[in-house]
Amino acid sequence: MSPTDDLVNALTPVVAAFEHLQRAHCIGGSVARSFHGAARSTMDVDLLCELSEDRITEFLSCFDEDCYVREAAVREAVDRRSCFNLIHLPTSFKIDVFVSEGRPYDITRIRHATHEHLGSGRTIVVPTTSPEDSVISKLKWYRDGNETSERQLDDVPKLAKLLGSSLDLSYMQEAAASVGVSDVRRSIVVARSVRIHGVRHSNGIRLPRFPRGG
């Protein structure tokens, strides 16, 4: 069985659970970026969702013994608007489920997702983070990590180069401002030319320092 088949098998019960509950959700991480041309050799699966306390029991009842998820972890994540893990035991795939913080951007990101077919033999259709939101998420992770992680920016120039003028920069500017990365337009333009200004690291790449605030 191929890694893609394993991924489909792992995601199928999770996507089915949110569809059953009619809860908004979208796939992120390297799975989403691979749809936009920035594939990685390893796949991490992030899922942003809307989930409330009164639907937790019903959510958990959607899974059988193939899926390991701790009720206490789900309840804590819903209460704190944070993250819980779900492991598909037959494939060992771990899915990081992020409960929406209720920010306008979370709602926008889910609504801006595109429905993509995942898999070759057996396939599923999954709402997938848009390329614009994939870039913004990377920049947000970079900021939240004190602007020190090159890994969070690795895909930014690649996505910008692959997508070129198809990127909706107006949408990106508005959405980025709502999460405190308001100069995303300039960072993308600079990334396209691989001339990123900021702090020089040992490999010669300059990482951007973004101004704080909206």
Going by C-beta distance under 8 Å and a sequence separation of 6 or more, which residues neighbour residue 186? none
Low-confidence ranges of the chain (pLDDT < 70): 1, 37-43, 146-155, 183-214
**Residue 140: which residues within 8 A CB-CB, separation 6 or more?**
179, 180, 181
Q: Which residues share a beta bridge with 68?
A: 87
Task: Report the DSSP pairing between strands 114-118 and 93-99.
Answer: unpaired
Give the per-residue pLDDT at 211: 43
141: left (phi over 0), alpha (psi -120 to 50) or beta: alpha
Q: Which two tokens stand for residue 2?
A: 């191929």
Interaxial angle between packed helices 155-163 and 184-192, expressed in degrees from 0 to 180 and rounded to the nearest 10? 80
| Amino acid 77: pLDDT | 98
pLDDT computed for residue 39 by the predictor: 63
CATH 3.30.460 region(s) of the chain? 3-128
pLDDT score of 150: 65
- Angle at 131 (CA atoms; ends 177, 108), nearest 5 degrees: 50
Q: Can you tell me the distance from the alpha carbon of 32 to that of 114, in angstroms, rounded to the nearest whole number? A: 10
3-128 CATH, one of 2.40.50, 2.60.120, 1.10.3470, 3.30.460: 3.30.460
